[in-house]
Structure 1
Amino acid sequence: MNDAPLLVEHDGHVVWLTLNRPKRLNAMDDLLLEMLESTLKELAQSDTRVIVLRGAGRAFCSGYDIAPDSSEVGYAAERTAIQDRDRLLSNVERFTQIWRQPQPVIAAVHGVCAAGGTQLASLCDITIVADDTKIMASPALPLGGGYISPLWEHLVGPKRAKLMSFDAGRTISGKTAAEWGWAAESVPADEFDEHVRRTAHSIARTPLELLKLKKEAVNRAAETSGLLSYMRMGAETDALLHVTPEVHEYQSWIKEDGIKSAIQRFNADFNAAFNSTEMVNK
């Protein structure tokens, strides 16, 4: 069994990249991001025509790894805002490798797609989701997210982007995500794998040089609207969020008791108030 965090499968003119940390719902750590970046750079020099990015197991990607023992936890206390901004900008550069990739990149999103996972999918050229996918822009514990929101604004507009950003843990279905414009299309779960495969190979009929020029044309239009600049500005917002006393406190909760307990603690007052209201109304 291959336990590498990123699996690479060649399928004619199509290459499948599988995020392979299923026990962590494919949460992104430094090694996974480094492997993804280096693999994309290698494929940029190949005759591959289409790349499909997907997740192993029950999820596409649950975001950045914030387990108590991960490098993500505690960063706010250990770094200055400037140092953290620079770290986040390096992540932006990693993700924009997908944007700059000569080949079209399809995000095949199923199961769960949360926080930084939505950032990853948003930068792909085409996002195809299963109808029953659970999509969450803002983590259930508000640890930042300032450089995720600009991508949502670009795809779904400011009102919906703010709703998804402000309301920690708000989830929409794959079907809703397609209706909003975050995804290109949504398909029934039992048809998902075959639909993605068929779409990838259909696109791969077109020579790479033509696909590259078509991609560049659309990207230039998006860049003219300021998309990449907004992402870099978002890194600065995120760095400021990370050094607030509130986020420091949430990070300490994770270190003490783990992410699930931290989320329960964050939601305790809200759940108590609304559960009480529901009981009164019954």
Structure 2
Amino acid sequence: MSDAPVLLAMEGDVAVVRLNRPDRLNALTSDMLDLLAATLRQAAADGARAVLLTGEGKGFCAGADLAAGMAIRDSGESLRQHFHPVIMAMADLPIPIVAAVNGPAAGAGASIALAADIVVMARSAYLLLAFANIGLVPDAGATWLVGKSAGRAKLLEMALLGERLPADEALDAGLVTRVADDVVLMETAHGLAAKLAAMPTVALGLIRKQVAAALAGTLAETLEIEAAHQSIASRTEDCREAVAAFLAKRTPQFKGR
């Protein structure tokens, strides 16, 4: 296996992206973050129709690797230069992302996991916002991601107390999509990614953007975005194929166009 900190492998139409510093629980360095953002963009540019994001070894991602030079003094600028581009690359992709959280997802690692569209956690995994434990504040979008999904009370509990949130509790809080037994985590997550990759790709990309806009917008603004997106989706080859398949009483064959 390559010693690159981020790995990309195409499995059919699914781009499998792996954080690859297992000896450090995939803790993040600036180079690793830059490569992750570039890898996600490359996957979409190369024609992937879904991304499966996971970590090598026993952890998903332990957050920033302070021992590897992720400086505290200038952390705000580090966030702008290295962390924010990853979260925005995930938000801007025209294809859906499934995260397979195979172990601890802490700090910015929790943000990266929760920035996916579908989050599947191993039963033994946990989320952790430990920032306050070292005199810092949540970053990499954690405040928005947790607050929008679980609400103010759960966000404050996680951010102020800095305690582990087990997978089942994360599911109950609405932070993740599914919990799977450890031995079937990757099978479950890959199955979801493969299902998404076989669906109408343009429509899925528009849905991603539409949901993000709705979370920040008004009803009137959302109605207009829905109308604009429907105009685009209704002209796609996949939409025409779906209608033809419905009329012919057959299963549609989507091509992502």
Q: Determine if the TM-score, normalized by the shorter chain, exceeds 0.5.
A: yes
TM-score, normalised relative to structure 2:
0.78
CA distance in structure 2 between the aligned counterparts of 1:141 and 1:101, rounded to whole angstroms = 33
Deviations 1:192-234 (A, max 9, x none): 1211111111111113212212222212112328xxxxxxxxx
Deviations 1:121-151 (A, max 9, x none): 1211111111221221224832413323332
* Amino acid in structure 2 at the alignment position of 1:71: G
Number of aligned residues: 215
Asked whether the 8 Å contact 1:130–1:175 carries over to 2, the reply is no
Asked whether the 8 Å contact 1:50–1:203 carries over to 2, the reply is yes
* Amino acid in structure 2 at the alignment position of 1:190: V
CA distance in structure 1 between the aligned counterparts of 2:127 and 2:206, rounded to whole angstroms = 31
Question: What does residue 65 of structure 1 align with?
Answer: 65
Question: What does residue 149 of structure 1 align with?
Answer: 143
Which runs of at least 4 in structure 1 moved beyond 4 Å after TM superposition?
A: none
Correspondence list, 1:61-140, <5 A:
61-67=61-67, 70-73=68-71, 75-76=72-73, 79=74, 84-90=75-81, 91-139=83-131
Question: What does residue 210 of structure 1 align with?
Answer: 203
CA distance in structure 1 between the aligned counterparts of 2:135 and 2:200, rounded to whole angstroms = 43
Asked whether the 8 Å contact 1:114–1:135 carries over to 2, the reply is yes
Cα displacement (A) at 1:188: 1.6
Asked whether the 8 Å contact 1:130–1:187 carries over to 2, the reply is yes
Correspondence list, 1:178-189, <5 A:
178-189=171-182
CA distance in structure 2 between the aligned counterparts of 1:30 and 1:176, rounded to whole angstroms = 31
Q: Helix, strand or coil for the counterpart of 1:141? A: helix
CA distance in structure 2 between the aligned counterparts of 1:143 and 1:103, rounded to whole angstroms = 36
Cα displacement (A) at 1:66: 1.3
Deviations 1:92-128 (A, max 9, x none): 2331110111110111102111111111112111111
Q: Helix, strand or coil for the counterpart of 1:144? A: coil
Question: What does residue 6 of structure 1 align with?
Answer: 6
CA distance in structure 2 between the aligned counterparts of 1:220 and 1:149, rounded to whole angstroms = 17
Instruction: Give the share of equivalent positions with the same residue, in percent.
Output: 26
- More off after superposition, 215-224 vs 133-142: 133-142
CA distance in structure 1 between the aligned counterparts of 2:178 and 2:137, rounded to whole angstroms = 25
1:164 paired with 2:158, answer yes
Cα displacement (A) at 1:37: 1.1
Compute the RMSD of aligned alpha carbons: 1.7
Q: Helix, strand or coil for the counterpart of 1:151? A: helix
* Amino acid in structure 1 at the alignment position of 2:86: R
* Amino acid in structure 1 at the alignment position of 2:48: T
Deviations 1:149-181 (A, max 9, x none): 33211111111110111113x011111111101
Question: What does residue 166 of structure 2 align with?
Answer: 173
CA distance in structure 1 between the aligned counterparts of 2:138 and 2:127, rounded to whole angstroms = 17
1:191 paired with 2:184, answer yes
TM-score, normalised relative to structure 1:
0.72
Asked whether the 8 Å contact 2:20–2:26 carries over to 1, the reply is yes
CA distance in structure 2 between the aligned counterparts of 1:185 and 1:171, rounded to whole angstroms = 18
CA distance in structure 1 between the aligned counterparts of 2:170 and 2:45, rounded to whole angstroms = 33
In structure 1, stretches of 5+ residues that fail to align are: 226-282
In structure 2, stretches of 5+ residues that fail to align are: 219-257
Asked whether the 8 Å contact 1:8–1:18 carries over to 2, the reply is yes
CA distance in structure 1 between the aligned counterparts of 2:101 and 2:18, rounded to whole angstroms = 11
